[in-house]
Amino acid sequence: MRLEVKELNKVFGNNTVLENINLVFEEGKIYGFVGRNGSGKSVLLKMICGFYSPTSGAILLNGKDYTSTNEFPENTRALIEKPKFLPDMTGYENLELLASVQNKIGRKEIEETLDRVNLTSEANKRYSKYSLGTKQKLGIAQVLMEDPDIMIFDEPLNGIEKETAEKIRNILKEEKKKGKIIIIASHIKEDIENLADVVYEVDGGKIEQIRAI
């Protein structure tokens, strides 16, 4: 599995958000992106998900340019910016609804995922009653639950208590060993450096590799 960003440019009006970006993501690695708010991190992740079309350039999954046809990349799940779920449904019900789209998993897998992110005790509480950290955990759960090949996270540990944050870091390391491509963006450099095999800095629409293991 190989995800490739080639000569990517994104312009909104007169503002160049991403300029001439070239990246390669390979299975079994965690890739981290650091940069200040507004640096272009979230735009890059949204483009990888197919939410924005490139102004020029391409994003390819196993050689196929899926962005040219406005497709979502196959077997990919993402948590970008603040998670949003139906407020009057419980955490479990929200995940159950999402799982019903493809019918790949059932109750067992959903409950196991909720347990993985320390959310079992909140599973039957309405989403509208969730704290910031609990909402984040549910967002992470929806990325993990269907065992996707590509996992994308934007500020995933925002508001999450220390114990669960460490548990999630360990989960991501386990997923990496399974051969997943994991992409994480954060303004907290320490979080990225503790997880990522390859670290990039995003600044002024440009991306520079600052570390690789």
Per the CB < 8 A criterion, the answer to whether 97 and 89 are in contact is: yes
* % of the chain residues with pLDDT over 90: 82
Residues 127 and 213 in one domain: no
The residue count for the chain: 213
Average pLDDT, the chain: 93
The CA distance from 35 to 33, in Å, is 7
Tens digit of pLDDT for each residue in 112-126?
Answer: 999 999 999 999 999
**Residue 141 in contact with residue 116, Cβ under 8 Å?**
yes
Same domain membership, residue 132 and residue 34? no
pTM given for the model: 0.94
Look-up of token digits 């390979």: 26
Per-residue pLDDT tens for 169-179? 999 999 999 99
> Cβ atoms within 10 A of the Cβ of 203, count?
12
Q: Measuring CA to CA, which residue among 121, 113, 213 is closest to residue 167? A: 113
On whether both 156 and 65 belong to a single domain, the answer is: yes
What pLDDT, on the 0 to 100 scale, is given for residue 86?
98
- 75-87 pLDDT tens trace: 999 999 888 999 9
**173 found inside a domain:** no
Do 123 and 27 reside in the same domain of the chain? no
Number of domains into which the chain is organized:
2
pLDDT band at 207 (very low <50, low <70, confident <90, very high): very high
Residue 12 covered by a domain: yes
Structural domain harbouring 13: 1-75+149-168+178-213
Examine residue 182 and state whether it is found in any structural domain, yes or no.
Answer: yes
Please spell the DSSP secondary structure of 9-46, one letter per residue: EEEETTEEEEEEEEEEEETTEEEEEE--TTSSHHHHHH
Q: What is the pLDDT of residue 70?
A: 76
- Domain CATH for 205: 3.40.50.300
Indicate whether 88 and 65 sit together in one domain.
Answer: no
